[in-house]
Amino acid sequence: MREPTQEWELYRPVVLWTANRDRYFGEGATLDFGADGELIVRENGLTVWSTGTAGKGVTEMCITNLGNLLLRNSTDHIIWQSFDSPSDTFPIQVAFKPGNRLVSWASPKDSSQGSYSLAMEENRLALYFNS
């Protein structure tokens, strides 16, 4: 008699979005969500990335079940979302709109921009190679 077996599918974590992907932050970097509604990454006291949402009525930050990082106002209107600037991965159930672009990583361990990009343009879907 054969023993029952269990099969497990293991999935590696997937980076859906990266802030300032062409520049890594150091160990001293901080993520601040200010009272003015701005989400800011600071390194050594200097702003190295921000959402540009200061003064736009942002009252909360949340992450959805699909992995979308949102900044919303008091009426749940989305002021900023990470899915508007994807890196190299676009999850299911999300619209790929004109102006969106997926850009490959430079290498499996380097999330800076690689050679390939897929762009949704006004009248076409285009794959580019940047040498």
Helices (H) and strands (E) in the chain, counts: 0, 9
Q: Which of 71, 104, 110 is nearest to 86 (CA)?
A: 104
Domains of the chain plus CATH, in order, are: 26-85 (2.90.10.10), 86-131 (no CATH)
Angle at the Cα of 52 from the Cα atoms of 23 and 13, rounded to 5 degrees: 50
Evaluate whether 35 touches 60 at the Cβ level (below 8 Å).
no
Could you read off the pLDDT tens digit of each residue along the chain, which spans 131 residues? 555 555 555 567 788 888 888 888 888 899 999 999 999 999 999 999 999 999 999 999 999 988 899 999 999 999 999 988 888 888 888 888 888 899 999 998 898 999 999 999 988 999 999 98
pTM: 0.77
Query: So what's the pLDDT on residue 9?
Result: 59
